[in-house]
Structure 1
Amino acid sequence: MSDLESITITCADGVHLHGHFAPASGGAPGLPVLLSPATGVKQHFYLRFVSWLAAQGHDVLVFDYRGIGLSRHGHLKHNKATLAEWGQLDQVAALDWLLQRTGRDQVLMLGHSAGGQMIGLLPNHRRVARLVGVSASTGWFRGMRLSFRLKARLGLRCLVPLGTLVKGYGPTSAVGLGEDLPAGVARQWGQWCAAGGYATNAIRGKPEQDFHAEVRTPITVLYAEDDDIATPPTVADLLRTFPSTQKQAMRVKPASHGLKAIGHIDWFRASHQALWPMIASSLRGQG
């Protein structure tokens, strides 16, 4: 992965994000790709995939949201970030950075879970030619299988909020929900999953910040049959928030790709490279 360049992105409010850029290194040339991570997942998790995708002909940018990984500055309890800011500021700035760096008019967005759920918050959404959301859904509790719904609600609506009061940040790692989060991010995550509609909860009563109905970017969601979070109801709940665009959802069976399991996270692991061509094809509108 020596082809990766460490870069800095400056957001509109002056916050600096850190990421990695991989220039296209082979394959048929394609549009640049912005890879937006899942909640609580560091960019380093995606670097092998980033190098692979660059070898397929794409310039690729991956980054950490404010308060996560290399974009975490100081003690987490002092970080005031919100989940809405990950879309309204961080994704916006990352998209602009990639457009400027590559000189292209549009890019492709590859969003893992939350990374593929917030395009309705981006004023520059028209610069996204296609969105592929991997494991993307609203995470709506009522759309989950009952056993997992109870666990998710207990974690995000009880244990994490209590831990936040004690520690000053969201101790999500203690309940198996990725990296610890800024308190504001953890709080909104639980609220949005409880309400359904995900990012639409951030802009209620703020029509000037709501771009969901304006989005014309074609959207493809890939989700696994064994995913406890992205289920048929939660994926449908996400897609309904974009009424004006072409959209499709593809439910993937692990066995069809020689895998025992995929779940919510494993798509980008080296052990699951059998899935990577499908992701690349979807980005190019061939899925």
Structure 2
Amino acid sequence: MTDPRPNDAATLRPDPVTLACADGQRLQGHFFAARGDATAAPVLISPATGVRQQFYWRFADWLAGQGHPVLVFDYRGIGLSLEGSLADSRARLVDWGRLDQVAALQWLLERTGAAQVVLVGHSAGAQMIGLLPNHERIARLVGVAASTGWFGGMRLAFALKARFGLRLMVPIGTLFKGYAPTAWLGLGENLPAQVGRQWGQWCAAGGYATNAVRAGLAADFHAQVRTPIVVLHAEDDDIATPETVRDLLRTLPASPRATLRVRPRDHGLRAIGHLDWFRQSHQALWPLLRRAVVGEVAVEVPVPG
């Protein structure tokens, strides 16, 4: 997960919006009004950890051209939603789910008047639906490179690198800088200290957001979620592997699901990895993502036990 550049989105002019969270925190987002067939479902794009909203603007604009109203936003402590200095931010990873995604979802529902929206979650953006009290307002969850990031489900060499970075260097870095120096490790933007610490803890333990529940930091809706889930992950993704994807889906036992493991060469690409799905250079993947958005990917109800 390196170099999440903003996809050359400077020429786009979406509407800036402010989202109000239940705890009073204000988030900054942008709304892309639908063009063409305006009857298509609204889409909420929730970013990956340490990735600014501008990275998704080209894809959001493309979806808007397909008739979808689209909202993209920054979590607290990131990008346009960072208030003051990063070292002063008290944002927590758990708050990105239980507060920030909740507020973004509610804003899009009110703006469009829709009964439900589609959540396109990139990595962490798809990992926290079990923390959302309004999860039933999500018609489908399209998880792109979505998994728990569990170290135990990664290739050994990459797992050692990730563990060294998130469990050793990030905690040490926060002591000296007051924030998590994840950019130095090639893990996207620098993060608020508590976000960086929780990220490492959750990846080490497996089960991702269920760790917030066990720690008493959030209400637990995992078993109640029945939203259909489609997870797309690349064959060359070191983070979202078959094992870490399964680790995510096991936390949502009642949700119908489908998993698509995508080979870059099948789409005329050399690589996809964890980030490249949303780059303008990888537009060949976007029709596949939209098939999942509009419900054209069949899902199966999990068999108990």
**TM-score of the superposition, structure 2-length normalised?**
0.92
Report if the CA contact (8 A) 2:98-2:218 is conserved: no
Q: Which residue of 2 aligns with 1:237?
A: 247
Report if the CA contact (8 A) 2:148-2:206 is conserved: yes
CA-to-aligned-CA distance 1:175-234 (integer Å, 9 cap, x gap)? 000000000100000000000000000011649710000001000000000000000000
Does residue 13 (structure 1) correspond to residue 23 (structure 2)? The answer is yes
Give the SS at the match of 2:146.
coil
Counterpart-to-counterpart distance in 2, 1:207 and 1:225? 34
Give the SS at the match of 2:140.
strand
Aligned AA for 2:259? A
Report if the CA contact (8 A) 1:3-1:51 is conserved: no
Q: Which residue of 2 aligns with 1:32?
A: 42
Give the SS at the match of 2:187.
coil
Does residue 118 (structure 1) correspond to residue 160 (structure 2)? The answer is no
RMSD, matched Cα: 1.2
Q: Which residue of 1 aligns with 2:101?
A: 91
Cα distance, 1:241–1:273 mapped onto 2, change above 3 Å: same
Task: Work out which of the residue numbers 140, 164, 170 in structure 1 matches 2:180.
Answer: 170
Instruction: Extract unaligned runs of 5+ from structure 1.
Output: none
Q: Which residue of 1 aligns with 2:157?
A: 147
Number of matched pairs: 287
Q: Which residue of 2 aligns with 1:4?
A: 14
Report if the CA contact (8 A) 1:3-1:23 is conserved: no
CA-to-aligned-CA distance 1:5-32 (integer Å, 9 cap, x gap)? 0110011111110010001112473110
Cα distance, 1:207–1:167 mapped onto 2, change above 3 Å: closer
CA-to-aligned-CA distance 1:240-269 (integer Å, 9 cap, x gap)? 000111011110000000000000000000
Higher helix share: 1
Q: Which residue of 2 aligns with 1:64?
A: 74
Report if the CA contact (8 A) 2:131-2:218 is conserved: no
CA-to-aligned-CA distance 1:71-104 (integer Å, 9 cap, x gap)? 0011111100100000000000000000000011
- 1:1-287 paired onto structure 2 within 5 Å: 2-27=12-37, 29-204=39-214, 206=216, 209-287=219-297
Instruction: Extract unaligned runs of 5+ from structure 2.
Output: 1-10, 298-305
Counterpart-to-counterpart distance in 2, 1:207 and 1:139? 20
Counterpart-to-counterpart distance in 2, 1:6 and 1:108? 20
- The percentage of aligned residue pairs carrying the same residue is 66
Counterpart-to-counterpart distance in 2, 1:226 and 1:2? 30
Counterpart-to-counterpart distance in 2, 1:265 and 1:2? 21
Aligned AA for 2:31? F
Cα distance, 1:28–1:254 mapped onto 2, change above 3 Å: farther
Question: Any runs of at least 4 consecutive aligned residues in structure 1 with deviations exceeding 4 A, and if so which?
Answer: 205-208
User: Deviation at 1:140?
Assistant: 0.1
Counterpart-to-counterpart distance in 2, 1:253 and 1:241? 26
User: Deviation at 1:54?
Assistant: 0.3
Give the SS at the match of 1:173.
coil
**TM-score of the superposition, structure 1-length normalised?**
0.98
Aligned AA for 2:71? L
